[in-house]
Homo-oligomer: A and B are copies of this chain.
């Protein structure tokens, strides 16, 4: 039976405490039959409290029990641990379906593997995979059904490559990489020049390098470099339907939310965070630790550490001030007309017009 939200084997809270190396708080030992967020939890559900600020949400929650950190008061049965987020994650880990059901081990007989490819004995290759000449697939890596590796692709160890992923010729994946369904890695960069007879294609001879511990969300595309490499740095996480253009360099531990687009030759420093649908122009440098609000448009260099927002993106506080002022603009036009008519000055104005 698959572990759906209620598919877990029921456990006493004391058993949960043992599993998480935590302390049972309170006299009761309720049966736990599911897990859920604070807002969604109901009878039988275990939830977790990340910080004091969610205390009110807990009061309103239907959860049977809660995982909490040191020093937080709770109003119901609890398991106290040093790292509640990590404990909750490790409890969820136990509820995942068996990996051998999701990625059956072994090489499926329908996989088409070129005789020159090296597939480690401990790798799993799903039905109808196609692995081209010169490929290397490391030990412990699992490819779901219908994964296609073009020639000379190198996949490190312990990768999870979900069904339908396409990785084109010469691209390189590190270790412990997760690529979700429908991703395309190594498609041609969008490079043309005005030539005889119209728009002419610039051959895209570079590759893509996906470094260790990267995760790339469903349906995203990472273009190969025109020359050299398009790079997604160690530990970076990319959400669904994200576009990463040719010769882009994404630093380490970045987080790119869904539908973000990074145009060709732009470079993001380490730890950059984008909200959803952010657009970054070409040849733009984004400093380390920059945070970019959803739907922002960025076409200039951003110094490290800034938080920016808007279209075009400015520092957050400036954009908020502008948005606030903007809502007063129609009224401002009237006020200026009154001033021009000689009736807007101290004499004629009412208190509500004042800032």
Contact = CB atoms under 8 A, between A and B. Distances in A.
Contacts of A342: 345-346
A41 B283 CA distance: 15
How many of these chains are in the complex?
3
Interface residues of A, number: 139
A70 interface: no
Nearest to A310: B311
A36 interface: yes
Contact of A258 (B2, B206, B243, B349): B243
B345 A340 contact: yes
Interface stretch (A25-33, A117-125, A128-136): A128-136
B130 A130 contact: no
A158 to B, nearest CB: 13
Interface in A179-225: 180-182, 184, 187-188, 190, 192-193, 195-196, 198-207, 213, 215, 217-221, 223, 225
A163 interface: yes
Given A4-B170, A101-B132, A190-B217, 6 more contacts: A35-B205, A89-B195, A128-B128, A130-B163, A181-B184, A258-B261
28 contacts: A2-B151, A4-B170, A5-B205, A37-B247, A37-B265, A95-B203, A101-B169, A112-B145, A128-B128, A145-B148, A163-B166, A163-B168, A164-B184, A178-B201, A187-B240, A190-B217, A190-B240, A190-B257, A198-B235, A223-B240, A241-B241, A275-B281, A279-B294, A314-B327, A329-B329, A336-B336, A337-B355, A339-B340
